[in-house]
Structures are given as structure tokens and as C-alpha cells.
Amino acid sequence: MSTIANNIAKVATRIREAAQAVARDPDEVRLLAVSKTQPAEAIRLACDAGLQDFGENYLQEALEKQASLSDLSVTWHFIGPIQSNKTKLIAEHFDWVHSVDRLKIAQRLSDQRPAHLPALNVCLQVNVSGEASKSGCDPQAVYPLAHAIAALPRLRLRGLMTIPEPTEDPAEQRAAFARLRQLQNGLDLELDTLSMGMSQDLEAAIAEGATWVRVGTALFGARSPASPIATAAPPHE
């Protein structure tokens, strides 16, 4: 068994045990492999081990991987900050976008989604911790923004996403994820997705209702230094 396959098995066990600990069906929680800065060969090994969903942050890097892995059945998720000049390629080449945080970006994704593809699955990213360095809309803006996005014809709003301030305190982890769940529960929309939790806090996220956990380090090991593509990316608008 490859190292990646072994790591996938370990993470799957963590997900199953975390769900069972709070009387949830483990099948309700899906694993999104965060493959940014990982080579295409690592994604191929993960596919061989049974994974299908991969999350990328850097558009050009992702497009190169998609081209080299076109023989695989992969569901591609964009999970990084989005600049306006990137929306067309994201709309054309991804199945999910977890990082929509402005109506302008959502409108462009909807307008540029090709007609022959199904509606683009999107999550509204919320900055639950109020960090100035983090992307995501203010919690107070969730209600009007979610309703505006849900009305766009070529998008399917699936739910909310967050990346809370890192902490090793399980109670603080759960409190941040609970805020996102409560925001979603307050929306009178048919939503089925809470994208929250990463390698270090997936148990807390699952306890608070996560349906996608975005895991990179625990699957692929520590990331290599950011690629030139990543470091050259312009700041989030």
C-alpha cells in the first residue's frame, strides 16, 4: 500500500470515528483532498486509492493538472480566493467552487458557466472569525448574499464554507464551526453542504455538522514550498 493510500485509510477512520461519536452517519461526511502544490502523480495515486474529489487553490496549476489527468474521473473543486479575471476559466473547468464571497464573483461565474455543463455547485465562504487576512463575507451579510446567489441561473448554491482562526482548543474549534452551522440553519433555502474542517480540526467540524472536510497535509504530507504560480498570484481583490 502506498503512503498516500495508507494516509487515506487513516483519515477515513478518523472521519468514521468522529461521526459515530456524535451519532452521525459517516456517509454524510465526504473527503475533499486538498491537492494544491502536489504533483499530478500524487493525485493519480489518490485516485487509485479511491478518492475522486480534489481541491485546488491556484488556477494555472490546477489547469495543468487537469490536462495531465484527463483520463481520470475526477471532480474538481476550486477552494482558493477568486479574482475577477479568473472567473471564466473557473466556471469552465470546475465542478464546485467553495470560495464565493462576493455577489460580483458569483454573477460572473453564473454568466460564464458554459451552457452544456450543469449548474456550478457553489458554497458561500464566511469569515466566522473576523480575521482581516481571511477571505469570506461578514456573517451579517450571509442572508442577503446567499439569497442573491441562490437566484443566479447557472449556479447551484449548496451551502456555506469557512476557514476559522486556527486553534488547538477543541471547544473553540467547535464554537467556530457551530457559528457557521447556525448561520446556515437561519437561511430559508434548501442547502445540504457545510464545507468546514481540515487536517487538524476535522473532528470538531464533523461534530458540528460538516459534510465536506478539506484535508491536505494528513493525506499528502507537509506541502512543498509554494510553486512560482502560487507565489506570483495577485492578492485577493
CATH of the domain at 170: 3.20.20.10
In a domain, 234, yes or no: no
Average pLDDT of the residues in 11-17: 98
Q: Is the residue at 227 inside a domain? A: no
Domain carrying residue 171: 4-219
Asked if the structure places residue 47 within a domain, the reply is yes
Confidence of residue 125 (pLDDT cuts 50, 70, 90): very high
In a domain, 230, yes or no: no
Q: What is the mean pLDDT of residues 100-124?
A: 98
Segment 182-211 mean pLDDT: 98
The yes-or-no verdict on residue 56 having pLDDT over 60 is yes
Pair 223, 36: CB distance under 8 Å: yes
| Amino acid 236: pLDDT | 31
Q: Note whether residue 73 is domain-resident.
A: yes
Cβ pair 97, 122 in contact under 8 A:
yes
Total domains in the chain come to: 1
Q: Which has the closest alpha carbon to 149: 116, 126, 179?
A: 126
Asked, for residue 101, whether it belongs to a domain, the answer is yes
Judge whether 233 lies within some domain.
Answer: no
> For residue 232, is pLDDT > 70?
no
pLDDT reading at 122 higher than 80: yes
Q: How far is CA 167 from CA 82, 132, 192, 198, in A?
A: 26, 17, 26, 12
Alpha-carbon gap, residue 97 to 42, rounded angstroms: 22
| Residue 237 pLDDT exceeds 50 | no
Prediction pTM value: 0.92
Phi, psi (deg, nearest 5) at residue 224? -70, 165
Judge whether 226 lies within some domain.
no
Stretch 151-157: mean pLDDT, rounded?
A: 98
- How confident is the model at residue 222, as a pLDDT? 78
